[in-house]
Chains A and B, each alone.
Chain A
Amino acid sequence: MSGYTLGDLRTIDEQCREIAAGELGFDVPDVVYHLVAPEEVYFAAANGLPARYSSARWGAQFDDAYGRYRRGQERIYELIFNTRPIHAFLMDGNSLVAQTLVIAHCLGHGYVFDNNLWLGAVDREIMSRVGSAADRIADYMGAYGRDRVEDFLDACHAIAIHQGQAQLIRKASAPEPTQRARPYDALFPSEVAAEREQVEGERAAQRRRFPREPEQDLLRFIEAHGHGLEDWQHDVISIVASEQSYFLPQMRTKVINEGAAVLAHQEICQRLFLSADRYWEYEKLNAGVIAPHPGRINPYNLGINILREVIRIATEPDDSERELWSWAGATDPFDQVRRVLRTYDDEALLREFLTPKVCELSRLYAFEHVSEDPRRIRVSSREADAIREVLIRQHSTMGIPRIEIVDADFRGRGELLLEHRHEGVGLDEEYARGTLTQVALLWGKPCTVRTATGEGAEQPIWFTGHPDGNSERQDSEPHG
């Protein structure tokens, strides 16, 4: 430890909490801090959750990130888990100022974890399940061979992300076609009979279709209907699917969550009366956290600039903003920030508050890939409307292609047909074919995805993956 004790950290937490609860109105449940060695912080980061099952998958990420840390190329300061109670890892060896920033930062996360509507759907008792899942997977590795289980886990992880998103409004399922009786039916018996036959045919076709409605939850559907899955494989699929559902809400609230955490550490640290040299150190750390990432987006930077914009609108709006927001200039700014933190996800946040000022502050630009050299990009606009449109499109899907199961008896051979809901961008062929071999491994039969090339989805194409690892592309619909 670097010149401070666990007691010092406790005192800092108490001071931070006092400011958070008082001036920011952030009531935060207890956080359990663990002061641990860098190696452990990096391993927990690779896992995403502590005490998860052992897998080469985490080993690869750990090897990579911990190597970068040891070469001085990156540094994680903190890790926080949305569990009950909330657990956070502090890295042993960081300075007391760094730990102060991190503790204040964690209080922002804690508030969002505890209050945000979208994060409320997370199962916070997940840790007990994570532990028992780890034990079971270790058993399976003992019984069926480590490689076999690892391969199966890899296949599960390939599609784990394709789960239904939490929805506030559910789409009603399509009604079955019916035939209504009409007053003059008796006059046209043959037409009515023909119509009845047609409606019944349609209804039968709809009932034969399986799944009846396109299915977004790939893993759970395969778990329920896959061919020839063994008991342990059912269990492994369920484990991966259920652990993944912990991460999805965090992905959709990344910007808002990091914004809240940065807001908390800035507001708290400015009120802590740090000595001049400590404040200087804090400012350096803070500047590092929120520095823009050239070529992509730093969620810390974008998040804090949007929340600061909310605060500005609440305190000194211009006339047009007064018209847009009833609360503009008429509310306590932190009240308004808390309202936003409770009910918005990233998509809603960007839609409403990505103003020209935010774009300027974060120095955002929209880009297109250069068609001659796809690795390079061309700045297409610095207008807020254009940037917002692109960002929203990305955040509504979190950058994940929308893939649904549309037929579980494709070609009448029990194969799986997936459909890529084309949204202006096609699928990467190499990755699609590789992924389909993984889906086929799970499903036990060949799996095909229907997608399209080009922006307008005008040319449909089909990729098929086989359980033996082969794959192919077809430019016309594959038939039996």
Chain B
Amino acid sequence: MSQREINLSINGKTYAAAVEPRLSLLDFLRDHAGLTGTHVGCEHGVCGACSILFDGVPIRSCLMLAVQADGHAITTVEGLCNEDGAPGPLQDAFQEAHGLQCGYCTPGMLISAQALLAGNSDPSIAEIKDAIGGNLCRCTGYVQIIEAIQLAASRLREAGQ
């Protein structure tokens, strides 16, 4: 199958690759860019495990083709870490509040939370539920995820003061 050249930015780094037009953005991130933090959950856009930020907006990378990302900027869960690769503040809050169990949905959950907190540092519980309403988690029952996002928000507000 013929290949197309794409250029895109992932977590601030520039990637150039030749890909098949049918390659999903999710498979590109995992198999070509080697960023396996973004997970495959359903490949039909329901579970949210493959969520990434696409020009700052949370989207499902399983529903997009790699060629459609040409010229765009992507953030994956790896991009939420500090420069030394250690977990960043949102990730720390998830650890402190036990906002994850198996960790499979977690990257997508973090992406949705990041997108929420970028525009709202004092979200209500309803706003948090709305933001993560498209991310399925089968382990936690969401209670501690919501607590983790509240904790991260409170830290964000403290830092902003």
Q: Do A and B bind each other?
A: no
Q: Which residues of B contact A (CB under 8 A)?
A: none
Q: Which residues of A contact B (CB under 8 A)?
A: none
